[in-house]
Amino acid sequence: MASKKFKTEVTDLLQLIIHSLYSNREIFLRELISNASDALDKLKYLSMVDGELKDYSFDPRIDVTFSENGEKTLTIKDNGIGMDEEDLNNNLGTIASSGTKKFLESLKDEDKKDSNLIGQFGVGFYSAFMVSSKIEVVSKKAGQAQAYKWESDGKSSYTIEPAERESQGTTIILHLNEDGAMYANRYEIETLIKKYSDHIAYPIYLEYDQTNYDYENKDEKGDPKKTVEHKIEKINSSSALWRRNKSDLKDEDYKQFYKNNYYDNEDPLFYLHTKVEGATEYTTLFYIPSKAPFDMNYADYTPGVKLYVKRVYITDDDKTLLPTYLRFVRGVIDSEDLPLNVSREILQENRVMTAIRNGSVKKLLSEFKKIAENNPELYDKFISQYNRPLKEGLYGDYANREALLELVRYHSSEKEGYVSLKQYKEGMKEGQKAIYYLAGGKESVLKSSPLIEAYRKKGYEVLLLDDDIDEIVISSVYEYDKIPLKAINKAGSLDDLKEEGEKEGEKDKQPVADKIKKALGDKVKDVVISSRLTETPACVVISDDAPSVQMQRMLRQMGNDSLPEEKPMLEINPDSPIISKIGESGDDEYVSLASSVLLDQALLQEGLMPSDPVAFAKNLTRLLER
Ligand code: ADP
């Protein structure tokens, strides 16, 4: 029997689990039962779809037994899919669980020793080593003849050897250590199963010996006669919570279900339980976590919603179930109308599934809206976590654009915190023609951008779009409630602000614009007299149809090399003393230096690096020296 070493990451994880979860070690049972339930799900699914295991007949169940005399053991047995030698190696010798892997990565990233977090990740099988000095796993994969036994003390290595097992499934035998001894106890086990695994769709049986005392009949010593009865009792109610009537459920039931199933110590922000009747019948139970799932913005985030058909688990492929922008939602969709043998592949084109998906999205978005209207405080918490995914929705989910426009929030030039587009509209001044925004860069940089000056003077609010996806998203929106959205860093944007006869005398400043343009050469597209600036000598804008300088840089970083370079336009303030000085100067060197510095500092003001920072520094020094 060959002994194999755990991958080092497993050894690390084991240590970490044992130390950090110690006070919460009872969760090991939840983890093992949840694995058993998954294994039953898998086999059930395979018995329904075409393939080698189609029509495979079995009566799914989980059995828990224990021995409290002599060496204390606890055994969890399922008749699910089982594992062959390779599976045992891959699943129990390395870290198979993607959740756990991500957890370890996140530890390295931020070097947080706050291992409390680990509870959120579904630590899985290894947690059983908190209570065991040795674990044996005997498993036989459905459809195969040979069973195997995996065994380890959880220190550094494990063994795998051929073994006997009657039919398919997995038996996990925990040899309880000192910390685990208490779990070889009927009441302890019952309590844990009820607490964590009551909803598991399959029956969980507990086998135990019950001693009965017969007080009517005495034994030879005169004590009540003792008989031992072997019992097998179903412990969980295996009623899926979402199937129960709303009126029978308490807030606490919902919260407990959430915490037990989604590895969150905190209560959800809110939840919604909906039973849809009519053409398509289905039930949904959705939860919004109070904190965004830590992997929400990773490409390989963990999906949070599971599809059941008449309580049989089908898939958690969230892309079929909800649009990706709602990937932070946790919960269950249970359909009455989908065929049980629906394959995951065809689900995407299924009409019933499409109806469920559309209905679920509508329901979620209208719930968000209700909260925004009736409970602003709760909505603030919601937005602080989920503004960004909602904005993604604005970009991708055209059908729900109207609803999403009511939900997203933006920073503003005039207020702290967030405003909605509706609030913006309500605060619009008479004669204001558009919703103005400035995108790209941090809120603080945007807020002090000279581009805003002219709008502020008129009392117009400017939305500050500081999320990196804002610009892409907003450029696809065009209007809100028939009011156009306009970027204020575009050359033509000022036309809106002009009134008859305003800023007269621009004409006679044209020579200075020409002079600066000549000095800057091909570094700018044009130099024009601006009416938007009051204090700042110059600012950069872009032509109406071009992406902003920030966006261009981002697109290039993303590998869009072919993008033609769009040069900025420099707008100059005719009233600025510096501009006047350049206009009056006959010194070519001064004009050239001052013009360059003017352009570069205008870029800096928009949070952009000058194209040649070294030259900028040199020019500035020379200018100061003069
Ligand atoms: P997770 O369940 O989060 O993937 P675990 O460490 O608990 O992580 O389990 C690792 C893998 O081992 C599971 O993904 C599954 O493939 C396999 N496994 C665990 N328990 C069982 C079981 N009772 N039956 C079949 N496979 C199992």
Which contacts qualify for 15-24: CB closer than 8 Å, 24 or more apart?
16/107, 16/115, 16/118, 17/118, 17/123, 17/126, 17/127, 17/129, 17/130, 18/129, 18/130, 19/115, 20/115, 20/116, 20/118, 21/115, 21/118, 21/119, 21/123, 21/127, 21/130, 22/130, 22/179, 24/119
Helix 510-520 / helix 588-605 crossing angle, nearest 10 deg: 90
The pLDDT assigned to 103 comes to: 62
Protein residue whose Cα sits closest to atom 17 of ligand 1: 91
Protein residue whose Cα sits closest to atom 13 of ligand 1: 91
Tell me the best of 28, 29, 38, 118 to mutate to test the pocket of ligand 1, counting ligand atoms within 8 Å of each CB and taking the most. Answer: 38
125 touches ligand 1 (CB under 6 Å): yes
Protein residue whose Cα sits closest to atom 1 of ligand 1: 97
The pLDDT assigned to 172 comes to: 98
Q: How far is the CA of 441 from the centre of ligand 1 (A)?
A: 45
Of the CA atoms within 13 Å of residue 403, those in its CB half-sphere come to: 17
Q: How far is the CA of 125 from the centre of ligand 1 (A)?
A: 7
Tell me the best of 91, 126, 130 to mutate to test the pocket of ligand 1, counting ligand atoms within 8 Å of each CB and taking the most. Answer: 91
Is-above-0.85 flag for pTM? no
Can you tell me which atom of ligand 1 is nearest the CA of 99? Answer: 3
Q: How far is the CA of 315 from the centre of ligand 1 (A)?
A: 16
Q: How far is the CA of 49 from the centre of ligand 1 (A)?
A: 22
Of the CA atoms within 13 Å of residue 44, those in its CB half-sphere come to: 22
Q: Is the sign of the CA dihedral 546, 552, 558, 560 positive or negative?
A: positive
What is the 3-state composition of the chain as percent helix, strand, coil, each rounded to the nearest 5?
45, 20, 35
The pLDDT assigned to 114 comes to: 47
Q: How far is the CA of 134 from the centre of ligand 1 (A)?
A: 18
Protein residue whose Cα sits closest to atom 15 of ligand 1: 91
Can you tell me which atom of ligand 1 is nearest the CA of 100? Answer: 3
Which residue, among 391, 486, 409, 64, has the nearest Cα to 234 in the 3D structure? 64
Q: How far is the CA of 35 from the centre of ligand 1 (A)?
A: 5
The pLDDT assigned to 75 comes to: 98
97 touches ligand 1 (CB under 6 Å): yes
Can you tell me which atom of ligand 1 is nearest the CA of 172? Answer: 23
Strand order in the sheet with 569-572: 526-529, 569-572, 538-541
Q: How far is the CA of 102 from the centre of ligand 1 (A)?
A: 16
Tell me the mean pLDDT per 10 residues along the chain, length 626: 79 75 82 91 88 93 96 97 94 66 60 49 78 97 97 91 97 97 96 83 93 87 89 88 90 91 90 93 96 86 85 75 94 86 74 93 97 97 96 93 97 93 96 91 86 89 92 88 91 69 60 91 89 84 72 69 76 90 90 92 83 90 88
Q: Under a CB-based contact definition with an 8 Å cutoff, are residues 521 and 567 in contact?
A: no
